[in-house]
Homo-oligomer: A and B are copies of this chain.
Amino acid sequence: MKRIGVLTSGGDAPGMNACLRALVLTAHANELEVIGFQRGFNGVLDQEYQTLSPYHVSGIIQDGGTLLKSARCPAMHTEEGLKQAAANLHDLELDALLVIGGDGSFRGVLELAPYYQGKLLGIPGTIDNDVDGSDFSIGFATALDTALDAIDKIRDTADAFERIFLVEVMGRHTGYLAVAAGIAAGAEQIICPELASELDLDKIAEHVEQARKHRGNCSYIIVIAETMYPGGASALAVDLEQRGIECRASILGHIQRGGRPVGADRILATKLGAYAVEQLVQGAHLMMAGEINGKAGLYPLALTGDKKKQVDSYLLRWQQQVAQY
Contacts and interface: CB of A to CB of B under 8 A. Distances in A.
A262 B143 CA distance: 11
A40 to B, nearest CB: 10
Contacts of A26: 318, 322
B70 A160 contact: yes
A146 interface: yes
Q: Most B CB atoms within 10 A — which of A154, A157, A271?
A: A157
Contacts of A113: none
Given A153-B254, A258-B155, A267-B183, A29 B325 contact: yes
Interface string A258-283: 11101110110011001100000000
A159 B263 contact: no
Contact of A325 (B28, B183, B259, B296): B28
Interface stretch (A74-82, A196-204, A245-253): A245-253
A44 interface: no
Q: Most B CB atoms within 10 A — which of A146, A162, A183?
A: A183
Contacts of A321: 29
A181 B253 contact: no
Contacts of A25: 322, 325
A271 to B, nearest CB: 6
Interface residues of A, number: 81
A66 interface: yes
Contacts of A153: 64, 146, 254-259
Interface string A234-254: 000000000000001011111
Given A267-B184, A325-B25, A161 B248 contact: no
B318 A274 contact: yes
A119 interface: no
A248 B254 CA distance: 9
A171 interface: no
Q: Most B CB atoms within 10 A — which of A26, A258, A274?
A: A258
A262 B146 CA distance: 10
A250 B259 contact: no
Given A61-B186, A250-B253, 16 more contacts: A12-B160, A12-B161, A25-B322, A26-B318, A28-B325, A65-B156, A71-B161, A141-B264, A146-B153, A153-B259, A154-B255, A156-B258, A157-B254, A251-B253, A267-B312, A293-B293
